[in-house]
Structure 1
Amino acid sequence: MRLAEGIVIDKEKTFGTLYFSSMRREVFERDEEGNPTTTLKERTYDLKSKTAGMMIQVSIPASVEEKKFDYDAEVELVNPIVDTVANATYRGADVNWYIKADDIIARKGSSTGTAKDAVKKPEENHKVG
């Protein structure tokens, strides 16, 4: 794989468990003059990363339907890559890192409900009988 195609990562070691937060923004194509068009290019979502200990943003192609998971639902990335964009400055370059994936899906074996929904009442955990 060439660096220009992005850096393939081990998603479990890099992100750990991911929790859905919300859609951050929609990015639209630009015309020859740099003006935004009505053609959707990608959607960017906020996900909470257990391993990173922070919110990460992941961009998904517009060809994938909009994701509407419950808040805090466990999700996983399909074919994530990390890539960069460098902008030349007077003193060198500023580099921005970004994460792209083919899709965001519900994690196997997890419900799409919130983490609060998964907590049982104490009497349900310790039935005597």
Structure 2
Amino acid sequence: MTIGLLTSSCGSKSDSVKQAAETAPVFNVPDLLGLDIDRVESTLGRPKWDSVAAHDASESVRLFRRDTLLLRVGYSARTRRVYSYLIQSAHAQTHDYRPLLRLANLTGNEPVLVVVPVPSKNNSAEYTGVKVFVKDAGSR
């Protein structure tokens, strides 16, 4: 009589981010580059959340959500200029932030962008998202 071993793998939240990234991008961030916040909103639709800073504050944020992917768009309320994008999964941390980039149609090698992985506060080996800045955004 032969006894076979059956092993199963329980998928982690990190795995779900990777699997989702193998599908088509959820947000097309390259198409948003250079747009002001009003044009970003007209492209993505009404934000799920909007935090407009006081006139002299440095950052206002609009949050767009599709499925479980969040796109936080940082902009100046005074000039309406967008200066950053933060891509996050709504419920997961990941050991590899590159799948999040793919969900935003980015490679991380775009010459006009600075990509900054956002480490988890609880586990420095995991990431909660990735922040993307346009290089020389202040001079444009």
Please give the TM-score of this superposition, normalised by the length of structure 1.
0.29
* Structure with larger Rg: 1
User: Normalising by structure 2, what TM-score?
Assistant: 0.28
Give the strand-richer structure, 1 or 2: 1
Structure showing the higher helix proportion among its residues = 2
